[in-house]
Protein backbone atom coordinates (compact mmCIF):
# COMPACT_ATOMS: atom_id res chain seq x y z
CA UNK A 1 0.00 0.00 0.00
CA UNK A 2 1.35 3.43 -0.92
CA UNK A 3 1.55 5.82 2.02
CA UNK A 4 -0.19 9.21 1.67
CA UNK A 5 2.11 12.01 0.62
CA UNK A 6 1.85 13.76 3.96
CA UNK A 7 3.18 10.80 5.95
CA UNK A 8 6.15 8.67 5.00
CA UNK A 9 8.17 6.24 7.04
CA UNK A 10 11.56 4.82 6.22
CA UNK A 11 14.43 3.15 7.99
CA UNK A 12 17.38 2.97 5.65
CA UNK A 13 20.35 0.97 6.91
CA UNK A 14 23.09 2.86 8.74
CA UNK A 15 26.43 1.06 9.14
CA UNK A 16 28.00 0.56 12.53
CA UNK A 17 30.38 3.24 13.70
CA UNK A 18 34.02 2.72 12.91
CA UNK A 19 36.51 2.65 15.73
CA UNK A 20 38.24 5.77 14.38
CA UNK A 21 37.53 8.69 16.69
CA UNK A 22 35.02 6.71 18.73
CA UNK A 23 35.00 6.61 22.52
CA UNK A 24 32.42 6.28 25.26
CA UNK A 25 28.67 5.84 24.76
CA UNK A 26 27.20 5.84 21.26
CA UNK A 27 23.87 7.11 19.99
CA UNK A 28 21.52 5.20 17.71
CA UNK A 29 18.87 7.01 15.66
CA UNK A 30 15.54 5.44 14.75
CA UNK A 31 13.38 7.40 12.27
CA UNK A 32 9.87 7.37 13.71
CA UNK A 33 8.22 9.32 10.91
CA UNK A 34 8.80 11.62 7.98
CA UNK A 35 6.21 14.10 6.71
CA UNK A 36 5.93 16.53 3.82
CA UNK A 37 3.21 19.00 2.89
CA UNK A 38 2.59 18.39 -0.79
CA UNK A 39 3.45 16.09 -3.66
CA UNK A 40 7.12 15.02 -3.65
CA UNK A 41 8.04 16.09 -7.19
CA UNK A 42 6.49 19.52 -6.67
CA UNK A 43 8.63 20.07 -3.56
CA UNK A 44 11.96 19.02 -5.07
CA UNK A 45 14.67 21.52 -4.06
CA UNK A 46 12.04 24.12 -3.16
CA UNK A 47 12.86 24.66 0.55
CA UNK A 48 9.50 23.21 1.56
CA UNK A 49 11.00 22.17 4.91
CA UNK A 50 13.81 24.51 5.85
CA UNK A 51 13.73 25.16 9.62
CA UNK A 52 11.78 23.25 12.28
CA UNK A 53 11.02 23.89 15.95
CA UNK A 54 9.28 21.53 18.35
CA UNK A 55 7.14 22.90 21.17
CA UNK A 56 7.20 20.82 24.34
CA UNK A 57 3.96 22.37 25.66
CA UNK A 58 1.65 21.72 22.70
CA UNK A 59 3.73 18.87 21.19
CA UNK A 60 3.56 20.66 17.85
CA UNK A 61 6.16 21.11 15.12
CA UNK A 62 6.47 24.43 13.33
CA UNK A 63 8.09 24.08 9.90
CA UNK A 64 9.24 26.88 7.60
CA UNK A 65 7.85 26.11 4.15
CA UNK A 66 9.68 28.41 1.76
CA UNK A 67 7.99 26.84 -1.27
CA UNK A 68 4.56 28.04 -0.16
CA UNK A 69 5.63 31.00 2.03
CA UNK A 70 3.93 29.37 4.99
CA UNK A 71 4.54 28.04 8.46
CA UNK A 72 3.25 24.47 8.53
CA UNK A 73 1.98 23.39 11.95
CA UNK A 74 1.98 19.66 12.74
CA UNK A 75 0.54 17.84 15.72
CA UNK A 76 3.46 15.65 16.82
CA UNK A 77 1.99 14.35 20.07
CA UNK A 78 2.39 10.95 18.43
CA UNK A 79 5.83 11.30 16.83
CA UNK A 80 5.23 8.18 14.78
CA UNK A 81 2.31 9.83 13.00
CA UNK A 82 2.46 13.65 12.87
CA UNK A 83 -0.63 15.33 11.44
CA UNK A 84 -0.77 18.62 9.57
CA UNK A 85 -3.02 21.01 11.49
CA UNK A 86 -2.64 24.23 9.56
CA UNK A 87 -0.51 26.15 7.08
CA UNK A 88 -0.22 29.84 7.91
CA UNK A 89 0.21 32.04 4.82
CA UNK A 90 2.88 34.71 5.34
CA UNK A 91 3.24 35.80 1.73
CA UNK A 92 1.85 39.23 2.58
CA UNK A 93 5.15 39.89 4.39
CA UNK A 94 7.39 37.95 2.01
CA UNK A 95 9.32 34.70 2.31
CA UNK A 96 9.75 33.06 5.75
CA UNK A 97 13.30 32.05 6.66
CA UNK A 98 13.26 30.99 10.31
CA UNK A 99 10.97 30.14 13.21
CA UNK A 100 11.34 29.78 16.96
CA UNK A 101 9.05 29.01 19.88
CA UNK A 102 9.09 31.28 22.93
CA UNK A 103 10.42 29.03 25.75
CA UNK A 104 8.32 30.86 28.33
CA UNK A 105 5.57 28.29 28.86
CA UNK A 106 3.18 31.03 29.94
CA UNK A 107 3.43 32.79 26.58
CA UNK A 108 1.52 31.38 23.64
CA UNK A 109 3.96 32.72 21.04
CA UNK A 110 6.11 31.77 18.09
CA UNK A 111 8.20 34.17 16.01
CA UNK A 112 8.93 33.97 12.29
CA UNK A 113 11.66 35.83 10.41
CA UNK A 114 10.32 36.92 7.02
CA UNK A 115 12.39 38.43 4.21
CA UNK A 116 10.70 41.16 2.19
CA UNK A 117 9.79 40.49 -1.47
CA UNK A 118 12.67 42.76 -2.53
CA UNK A 119 16.14 42.88 -0.97
CA UNK A 120 16.05 46.67 -0.90
CA UNK A 121 13.18 46.52 1.60
CA UNK A 122 13.44 45.76 5.29
CA UNK A 123 12.08 42.46 6.50
CA UNK A 124 9.74 41.56 9.33
CA UNK A 125 9.32 39.41 12.38
CA UNK A 126 5.80 38.04 12.54
CA UNK A 127 4.42 36.82 15.87
CA UNK A 128 1.81 34.06 15.90
CA UNK A 129 0.06 32.00 18.53
CA UNK A 130 0.92 28.33 18.62
CA UNK A 131 -2.36 27.72 16.83
CA UNK A 132 -1.18 29.94 13.99
CA UNK A 133 -3.31 33.00 14.72
CA UNK A 134 -1.79 36.39 13.99
CA UNK A 135 -0.62 38.48 16.95
CA UNK A 136 1.57 41.28 15.58
CA UNK A 137 4.52 42.08 13.36
CA UNK A 138 7.64 44.26 13.54
CA UNK A 139 9.87 45.73 10.87
CA UNK A 140 13.49 44.71 11.44
CA UNK A 141 16.65 44.76 9.28
CA UNK A 142 17.25 43.71 5.71
CA UNK A 143 16.72 40.01 5.01
CA UNK A 144 16.17 38.58 8.51
CA UNK A 145 17.65 35.13 7.99
CA UNK A 146 17.53 33.53 11.43
CA UNK A 147 16.05 34.25 14.84
CA UNK A 148 16.15 32.71 18.28
CA UNK A 149 14.84 33.44 21.77
CA UNK A 150 17.09 33.52 24.80
CA UNK A 151 16.54 30.92 27.51
CA UNK A 152 13.68 32.69 29.32
CA UNK A 153 11.98 34.11 26.24
CA UNK A 154 12.48 37.70 27.31
CA UNK A 155 14.61 38.56 24.30
CA UNK A 156 14.50 37.59 20.64
CA UNK A 157 17.65 37.98 18.56
CA UNK A 158 17.46 38.29 14.76
CA UNK A 159 20.33 38.02 12.28
CA UNK A 160 19.61 40.42 9.41
CA UNK A 161 21.84 39.14 6.62
CA UNK A 162 21.53 42.15 4.32
CA UNK A 163 22.46 40.37 1.09
CA UNK A 164 22.92 42.57 -2.01
CA UNK A 165 20.44 42.51 -4.86
CA UNK A 166 21.22 39.99 -7.60
CA UNK A 167 22.92 42.61 -9.76
CA UNK A 168 24.73 44.19 -6.77
CA UNK A 169 23.07 47.55 -7.49
CA UNK A 170 21.94 47.79 -3.86
CA UNK A 171 23.81 46.35 -0.88
CA UNK A 172 22.00 46.95 2.42
CA UNK A 173 23.81 46.93 5.74
CA UNK A 174 23.77 43.78 7.78
CA UNK A 175 22.62 44.11 11.39
CA UNK A 176 21.33 42.24 14.44
CA UNK A 177 17.92 43.02 15.91
CA UNK A 178 17.23 42.67 19.63
CA UNK A 179 13.54 42.48 20.47
CA UNK A 180 12.47 42.77 24.10
CA UNK A 181 9.29 41.03 25.18
CA UNK A 182 7.65 43.24 27.80
CA UNK A 183 4.25 41.89 28.68
CA UNK A 184 2.49 41.63 25.34
CA UNK A 185 4.62 44.37 23.77
CA UNK A 186 7.62 43.83 21.51
CA UNK A 187 10.24 46.58 21.51
CA UNK A 188 12.75 46.48 18.68
CA UNK A 189 16.29 47.85 18.76
CA UNK A 190 18.92 47.30 16.11
CA UNK A 191 22.63 46.70 16.59
CA UNK A 192 24.39 48.04 13.50
CA UNK A 193 27.96 48.01 12.25
CA UNK A 194 27.89 51.44 10.59
CA UNK A 195 30.60 52.81 12.87
CA UNK A 196 33.18 50.23 11.81
CA UNK A 197 36.04 50.92 9.42
CA UNK A 198 38.29 48.27 7.86
CA UNK A 199 40.99 49.06 10.42
CA UNK A 200 38.54 48.17 13.20
CA UNK A 201 38.11 44.58 11.98
CA UNK A 202 41.60 43.26 11.17
CA UNK A 203 41.50 39.74 9.81
CA UNK A 204 37.77 39.88 9.03
CA UNK A 205 37.12 39.25 5.34
CA UNK A 206 35.77 42.46 3.76
CA UNK A 207 35.80 41.89 0.01
CA UNK A 208 32.82 43.54 -1.70
CA UNK A 209 33.20 45.74 -4.77
CA UNK A 210 35.10 48.99 -4.43
CA UNK A 211 33.26 51.39 -2.15
CA UNK A 212 31.58 48.69 -0.07
CA UNK A 213 31.54 49.61 3.61
CA UNK A 214 32.20 47.20 6.47
CA UNK A 215 28.53 47.35 7.48
CA UNK A 216 27.41 46.53 3.94
CA UNK A 217 29.86 43.66 3.64
CA UNK A 218 29.06 42.01 6.99
CA UNK A 219 26.27 39.47 6.55
CA UNK A 220 24.96 38.08 9.89
CA UNK A 221 23.69 34.58 9.24
CA UNK A 222 23.00 32.51 12.36
CA UNK A 223 22.73 33.20 16.10
CA UNK A 224 23.56 31.25 19.26
CA UNK A 225 22.86 32.70 22.71
CA UNK A 226 24.65 31.84 25.92
CA UNK A 227 24.00 33.99 28.98
CA UNK A 228 24.55 37.69 28.27
CA UNK A 229 25.91 37.18 24.80
CA UNK A 230 24.81 36.33 21.29
CA UNK A 231 27.37 34.78 18.97
CA UNK A 232 26.52 35.57 15.35
CA UNK A 233 28.13 33.96 12.32
CA UNK A 234 29.03 36.26 9.44
CA UNK A 235 29.62 33.46 6.97
CA UNK A 236 31.06 35.20 3.92
CA UNK A 237 33.23 37.31 6.22
CA UNK A 238 34.73 34.22 7.93
CA UNK A 239 33.94 35.79 11.30
CA UNK A 240 31.74 35.60 14.39
CA UNK A 241 30.33 38.71 16.09
CA UNK A 242 29.86 38.72 19.86
CA UNK A 243 27.03 40.97 21.07
CA UNK A 244 25.89 41.80 24.59
CA UNK A 245 22.14 41.35 24.26
CA UNK A 246 21.36 43.39 27.39
CA UNK A 247 23.52 46.44 26.73
CA UNK A 248 22.93 45.96 22.98
CA UNK A 249 26.63 46.55 22.30
CA UNK A 250 28.97 44.88 19.87
CA UNK A 251 31.68 43.35 22.05
CA UNK A 252 33.95 41.99 19.33
CA UNK A 253 34.15 40.51 15.86
CA UNK A 254 36.37 37.45 15.83
CA UNK A 255 38.23 36.69 12.60
CA UNK A 256 38.28 32.91 12.42
CA UNK A 257 41.33 32.52 10.23
CA UNK A 258 42.07 29.35 8.27
CA UNK A 259 43.22 25.77 8.55
CA UNK A 260 46.22 24.59 6.57
CA UNK A 261 45.20 21.57 4.50
CA UNK A 262 48.88 20.85 3.88
CA UNK A 263 49.29 19.88 7.52
CA UNK A 264 48.59 16.53 9.13
CA UNK A 265 45.14 16.46 10.65
CA UNK A 266 43.58 18.62 7.94
CA UNK A 267 43.52 16.39 4.86
CA UNK A 268 40.64 16.51 2.38
CA UNK A 269 39.52 15.13 -0.99
CA UNK A 270 39.75 17.91 -3.62
CA UNK A 271 38.89 16.31 -6.98
CA UNK A 272 35.71 14.97 -8.56
CA UNK A 273 37.65 13.69 -11.57
CA UNK A 274 40.08 11.19 -10.05
CA UNK A 275 37.56 8.33 -9.81
CA UNK A 276 38.60 7.52 -6.27
CA UNK A 277 38.46 8.52 -2.63
CA UNK A 278 41.68 10.40 -1.98
CA UNK A 279 41.77 12.22 1.35
CA UNK A 280 45.19 13.85 1.30
CA UNK A 281 47.13 16.96 2.19
CA UNK A 282 47.17 19.78 -0.35
CA UNK A 283 48.70 23.30 -0.41
CA UNK A 284 45.41 25.05 0.33
CA UNK A 285 44.12 26.99 3.31
CA UNK A 286 40.47 26.51 4.17
CA UNK A 287 38.41 29.44 5.41
CA UNK A 288 35.99 28.26 8.12
CA UNK A 289 33.07 30.41 6.89
CA UNK A 290 30.53 28.81 9.27
CA UNK A 291 26.80 28.85 8.70
CA UNK A 292 25.23 27.21 11.76
CA UNK A 293 26.39 27.96 15.30
CA UNK A 294 25.50 26.76 18.80
CA UNK A 295 26.86 27.57 22.27
CA UNK A 296 27.21 25.81 25.60
CA UNK A 297 29.02 25.99 28.94
CA UNK A 298 31.36 23.58 30.67
CA UNK A 299 31.93 23.53 34.41
CA UNK A 300 35.46 22.71 35.54
CA UNK A 301 36.60 22.32 39.12
CA UNK A 302 39.80 24.24 39.78
CA UNK A 303 40.90 23.55 43.34
CA UNK A 304 37.83 24.29 45.42
CA UNK A 305 36.41 26.69 42.86
CA UNK A 306 33.99 25.87 40.06
CA UNK A 307 34.83 27.63 36.81
CA UNK A 308 32.22 27.96 34.06
CA UNK A 309 33.56 28.41 30.52
CA UNK A 310 31.53 29.25 27.42
CA UNK A 311 32.21 27.75 24.00
CA UNK A 312 30.62 28.21 20.62
CA UNK A 313 30.41 25.44 18.03
CA UNK A 314 30.38 26.08 14.27
CA UNK A 315 29.45 24.06 11.18
CA UNK A 316 31.95 25.22 8.60
CA UNK A 317 30.03 25.11 5.34
CA UNK A 318 31.73 27.89 3.36
CA UNK A 319 29.94 30.14 0.87
CA UNK A 320 30.87 32.03 -2.29
CA UNK A 321 29.36 35.28 -3.53
CA UNK A 322 27.89 35.59 -7.00
CA UNK A 323 25.92 38.76 -7.55
CA UNK A 324 25.73 40.01 -11.12
CA UNK A 325 29.25 40.44 -12.46
CA UNK A 326 30.79 40.02 -9.01
CA UNK A 327 32.02 36.46 -8.43
CA UNK A 328 34.61 35.60 -5.78
CA UNK A 329 35.05 31.95 -6.79
CA UNK A 330 37.28 30.35 -9.44
CA UNK A 331 38.70 26.92 -10.09
CA UNK A 332 42.35 26.50 -9.20
CA UNK A 333 43.19 25.56 -12.79
CA UNK A 334 42.00 28.99 -13.93
CA UNK A 335 44.25 30.92 -11.54
CA UNK A 336 47.73 32.20 -12.33
CA UNK A 337 49.92 30.59 -9.66
CA UNK A 338 53.20 32.13 -8.56
CA UNK A 339 56.00 29.84 -9.78
CA UNK A 340 58.06 30.33 -6.63
CA UNK A 341 55.18 29.46 -4.31
CA UNK A 342 53.94 26.63 -6.56
CA UNK A 343 56.87 25.10 -8.46
CA UNK A 344 54.64 22.12 -9.32
CA UNK A 345 51.78 24.32 -10.54
CA UNK A 346 51.25 22.48 -13.82
CA UNK A 347 50.75 19.15 -12.08
CA UNK A 348 48.68 20.67 -9.26
CA UNK A 349 46.30 22.28 -11.74
CA UNK A 350 45.39 19.01 -13.42
CA UNK A 351 41.72 18.06 -12.98
CA UNK A 352 42.56 14.93 -11.02
CA UNK A 353 44.55 17.02 -8.54
CA UNK A 354 43.72 20.56 -7.41
CA UNK A 355 42.55 21.87 -10.77
CA UNK A 356 38.81 21.72 -10.21
CA UNK A 357 38.76 22.78 -6.56
CA UNK A 358 36.60 25.87 -5.99
CA UNK A 359 39.00 28.53 -4.70
CA UNK A 360 38.60 32.05 -3.32
CA UNK A 361 39.81 34.55 -5.92
CA UNK A 362 39.82 37.63 -3.69
CA UNK A 363 42.67 36.46 -1.46
CA UNK A 364 46.10 34.98 -2.03
CA UNK A 365 48.03 37.59 -4.02
CA UNK A 366 50.29 38.37 -1.09
CA UNK A 367 52.87 40.51 -2.89
CA UNK A 368 50.38 42.28 -5.17
CA UNK A 369 51.99 41.22 -8.45
CA UNK A 370 48.83 39.74 -9.98
CA UNK A 371 49.39 36.03 -9.36
CA UNK A 372 48.45 33.81 -6.43
CA UNK A 373 51.04 33.07 -3.74
CA UNK A 374 48.54 31.24 -1.53
CA UNK A 375 45.35 29.31 -2.27
CA UNK A 376 42.20 29.56 -0.16
CA UNK A 377 39.07 27.38 -0.29
CA UNK A 378 35.50 27.76 0.93
CA UNK A 379 34.76 26.03 4.25
CA UNK A 380 36.85 23.43 6.03
CA UNK A 381 34.55 20.37 5.79
CA UNK A 382 34.66 20.22 9.57
CA UNK A 383 32.97 21.43 12.71
CA UNK A 384 34.91 23.51 15.22
CA UNK A 385 34.76 24.53 18.87
CA UNK A 386 35.96 28.00 19.88
CA UNK A 387 36.12 29.56 23.33
CA UNK A 388 34.16 32.71 24.13
CA UNK A 389 37.06 34.86 22.94
CA UNK A 390 37.19 33.23 19.53
CA UNK A 391 40.23 31.04 20.23
CA UNK A 392 40.16 27.67 18.48
CA UNK A 393 39.85 24.78 20.92
CA UNK A 394 39.02 21.83 18.65
CA UNK A 395 38.58 21.18 14.93
CA UNK A 396 37.28 17.88 13.56
CA UNK A 397 39.61 18.01 10.55
CA UNK A 398 38.99 15.03 8.22
CA UNK A 399 36.84 13.08 10.72
CA UNK A 400 33.66 13.60 8.67
CA UNK A 401 35.13 12.71 5.28
CA UNK A 402 36.99 9.75 6.78
CA UNK A 403 33.82 8.39 8.38
CA UNK A 404 31.93 8.65 5.08
CA UNK A 405 34.81 7.02 3.20
CA UNK A 406 34.88 4.11 5.66
CA UNK A 407 31.14 3.55 5.83
CA UNK A 408 29.74 4.80 2.51
CA UNK A 409 32.52 4.32 -0.03
CA UNK A 410 30.10 4.10 -2.97
CA UNK A 411 28.38 7.36 -2.02
CA UNK A 412 31.35 9.36 -0.74
CA UNK A 413 30.92 13.14 -1.19
CA UNK A 414 27.75 12.67 -3.20
CA UNK A 415 25.15 15.30 -4.12
CA UNK A 416 21.74 15.78 -2.52
CA UNK A 417 19.82 16.47 -5.74
CA UNK A 418 20.57 13.26 -7.65
CA UNK A 419 21.49 9.66 -7.06
CA UNK A 420 24.62 7.90 -8.30
CA UNK A 421 26.76 10.99 -7.71
CA UNK A 422 29.84 9.47 -6.08
CA UNK A 423 32.64 12.01 -5.45
CA UNK A 424 30.76 14.79 -7.27
CA UNK A 425 31.16 17.26 -4.40
CA UNK A 426 34.85 16.74 -3.66
CA UNK A 427 35.82 19.74 -5.79
CA UNK A 428 33.39 21.98 -3.89
CA UNK A 429 32.67 21.62 -0.18
CA UNK A 430 32.47 17.88 0.28
CA UNK A 431 29.63 16.60 2.46
CA UNK A 432 29.07 20.25 3.47
CA UNK A 433 28.53 20.54 7.24
CA UNK A 434 26.00 23.35 7.42
CA UNK A 435 23.89 23.23 10.56
CA UNK A 436 24.57 22.31 14.18
CA UNK A 437 22.48 21.93 17.30
CA UNK A 438 23.42 20.68 20.76
CA UNK A 439 21.72 18.35 23.19
CA UNK A 440 22.38 16.77 26.57
CA UNK A 441 21.69 13.06 27.10
CA UNK A 442 22.50 11.31 30.38
CA UNK A 443 24.75 14.15 31.45
CA UNK A 444 26.81 14.28 28.26
CA UNK A 445 26.74 17.03 25.63
CA UNK A 446 26.41 16.15 21.95
CA UNK A 447 26.77 18.17 18.77
CA UNK A 448 24.48 17.14 15.91
CA UNK A 449 25.98 18.36 12.64
CA UNK A 450 23.84 18.37 9.49
CA UNK A 451 25.69 17.36 6.30
CA UNK A 452 23.76 19.21 3.63
CA UNK A 453 24.99 17.37 0.54
CA UNK A 454 25.42 13.87 1.91
CA UNK A 455 22.13 14.29 3.82
CA UNK A 456 23.15 12.65 7.09
CA UNK A 457 23.59 13.91 10.65
CA UNK A 458 27.05 13.41 12.14
CA UNK A 459 27.05 13.35 15.95
CA UNK A 460 29.96 14.10 18.28
CA UNK A 461 30.42 13.88 22.04
CA UNK A 462 31.69 17.37 22.98
CA UNK A 463 31.29 17.07 26.75
CA UNK A 464 34.98 17.86 27.00
CA UNK A 465 35.64 20.37 24.19
CA UNK A 466 39.27 19.28 24.02
CA UNK A 467 38.52 15.56 23.83
CA UNK A 468 35.88 15.08 21.15
CA UNK A 469 34.76 11.75 19.68
CA UNK A 470 32.29 10.50 17.10
CA UNK A 471 29.12 9.38 18.87
CA UNK A 472 26.66 8.40 16.14
CA UNK A 473 25.29 8.92 12.65
CA UNK A 474 21.70 9.47 11.51
CA UNK A 475 20.61 8.80 7.95
CA UNK A 476 17.21 8.46 6.32
CA UNK A 477 18.24 8.41 2.67
CA UNK A 478 17.81 5.59 0.17
CA UNK A 479 20.83 5.68 -2.11
CA UNK A 480 19.45 2.95 -4.37
CA UNK A 481 16.51 5.11 -5.47
CA UNK A 482 17.30 6.58 -8.89
CA UNK A 483 16.37 10.22 -9.48
CA UNK A 484 17.64 13.56 -10.72
CA UNK A 485 16.02 16.90 -11.53
CA UNK A 486 14.76 15.53 -14.85
CA UNK A 487 13.58 12.22 -13.42
CA UNK A 488 11.49 12.74 -10.31
CA UNK A 489 9.13 9.81 -10.67
CA UNK A 490 10.81 7.96 -7.78
CA UNK A 491 11.91 11.03 -5.88
CA UNK A 492 9.39 10.53 -3.08
CA UNK A 493 11.05 7.24 -2.14
CA UNK A 494 14.56 8.68 -1.85
CA UNK A 495 14.15 9.72 1.79
CA UNK A 496 15.64 12.84 3.33
CA UNK A 497 17.77 15.17 1.23
CA UNK A 498 19.49 18.39 2.29
CA UNK A 499 19.14 18.69 6.09
CA UNK A 500 18.86 22.38 6.87
CA UNK A 501 17.27 22.79 10.30
CA UNK A 502 17.85 20.62 13.38
CA UNK A 503 16.01 20.70 16.70
CA UNK A 504 16.90 18.53 19.70
CA UNK A 505 14.13 17.52 22.10
CA UNK A 506 15.36 16.28 25.53
CA UNK A 507 13.77 13.21 27.06
CA UNK A 508 11.84 15.16 29.70
CA UNK A 509 10.11 17.22 26.98
CA UNK A 510 9.56 14.40 24.52
CA UNK A 511 6.18 12.70 23.93
CA UNK A 512 7.95 9.33 23.98
CA UNK A 513 10.00 9.96 27.11
CA UNK A 514 13.15 9.50 25.05
CA UNK A 515 15.23 12.20 23.36
CA UNK A 516 14.31 13.15 19.81
CA UNK A 517 16.06 14.88 16.94
CA UNK A 518 13.78 16.68 14.49
CA UNK A 519 15.25 17.48 11.07
CA UNK A 520 13.90 19.69 8.28
CA UNK A 521 15.24 18.72 4.84
CA UNK A 522 15.01 21.46 2.23
CA UNK A 523 15.64 19.41 -0.96
CA UNK A 524 13.21 16.57 -0.19
CA UNK A 525 10.73 18.82 1.62
CA UNK A 526 10.53 16.28 4.44
CA UNK A 527 10.59 16.75 8.20
CA UNK A 528 11.79 13.67 10.03
CA UNK A 529 11.60 12.73 13.70
CA UNK A 530 14.36 10.48 15.03
CA UNK A 531 14.24 8.78 18.41
CA UNK A 532 17.65 8.55 20.07
CA UNK A 533 18.83 5.65 22.17
CA UNK A 534 22.12 5.25 24.02
CA UNK A 535 24.42 2.24 23.88
CA UNK A 536 27.13 1.51 26.41
CA UNK A 537 30.78 1.69 25.28
User: What is the reported pLDDT for 15?
Assistant: 64
User: What is the reported pLDDT for 14?
Assistant: 66
What number of other Cβ atoms are within 10 A of residue 196's Cβ? 18
DSSP helix/strand/coil, 524: coil
Residue 329 lies in a domain: no
Average pLDDT of adjacent 10-residue blocks, the chain of 537 residues: 40 56 80 97 97 98 98 98 98 98 94 97 98 97 98 97 95 98 88 98 96 97 98 98 98 98 97 97 98 96 90 98 95 98 97 98 96 98 98 98 98 98 98 98 97 98 97 98 96 97 98 98 98 89
Global pTM?
0.96
CA–CA gap between residue 314 and residue 292 (Å, rounded): 6
Q: For residue range 255-314, what is the model confidence (pLDDT) as tens digits?
A: 999 999 999 999 999 999 999 999 999 999 999 999 999 999 999 888 888 999 999 999
User: What is the reported pLDDT for 20?
Assistant: 46
User: What is the reported pLDDT for 5?
Assistant: 39
The long-range contacts involving 124-128, CB below 8 angstroms and separated by at least 24 positions, are 124/93, 124/94, 125/156, 125/158, 125/177, 125/179, 125/186, 125/188, 126/90, 126/93, 126/96, 127/186, 128/71, 128/88
Residue 194 lies in a domain: yes
Which residues on neighbouring strands pair with residue 512, listed in sequence order?
none
CA–CA gap between residue 107 and residue 130 (Å, rounded): 9
Residue 248 lies in a domain: yes
CA–CA gap between residue 156 and residue 101 (Å, rounded): 10
DSSP helix/strand/coil, 270: coil
User: What is the reported pLDDT for 464?
Assistant: 97
Residue 8 lies in a domain: no
Radius of gyration of the chain (CA): 22
CA–CA gap between residue 111 and residue 90 (Å, rounded): 12
**CATH number of the domain bearing residue 89:** 2.130.10.10
Residue 332 lies in a domain: no
CA–CA gap between residue 29 and residue 529 (Å, rounded): 9
Which residues in 86-108 are b (16+ Cβ under 10 Å) and which e?
Answer: ebbebeebbbbbbbbbbbeeebb
Q: Are 145 and 123 in contact (CB under 8 A)?
A: no
Residue 119 lies in a domain: yes
Residue 336 lies in a domain: no
Residue-number span of the structural domain to which 399 is assigned: 26-318+379-535
DSSP helix/strand/coil, 475: strand
Provide the CA 362 distance to its chain's centre, in angstroms. 24
CA–CA gap between residue 37 and residue 50 (Å, rounded): 12
User: What total of structural domains would you count in the chain?
Assistant: 1
Residue 349 lies in a domain: no
Amino acid sequence: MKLPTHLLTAAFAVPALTATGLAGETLAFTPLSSVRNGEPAELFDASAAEIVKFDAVTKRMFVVNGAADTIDIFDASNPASPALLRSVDLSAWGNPNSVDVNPNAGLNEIAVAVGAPSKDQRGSVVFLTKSGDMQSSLTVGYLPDMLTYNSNGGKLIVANEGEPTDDYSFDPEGSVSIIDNIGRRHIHREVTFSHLKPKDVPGVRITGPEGTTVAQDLEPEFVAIQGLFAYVTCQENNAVAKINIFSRKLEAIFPLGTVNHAELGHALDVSDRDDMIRIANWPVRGMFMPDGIAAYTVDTKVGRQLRRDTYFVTANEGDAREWGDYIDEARVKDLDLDPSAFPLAEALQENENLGRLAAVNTEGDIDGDGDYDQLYSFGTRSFTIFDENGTLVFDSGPMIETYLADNYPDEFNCAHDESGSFDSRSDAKGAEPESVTLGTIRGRTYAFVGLERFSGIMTFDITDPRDVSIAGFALNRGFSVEFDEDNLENFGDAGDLGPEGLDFVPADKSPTGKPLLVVANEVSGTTTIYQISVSAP
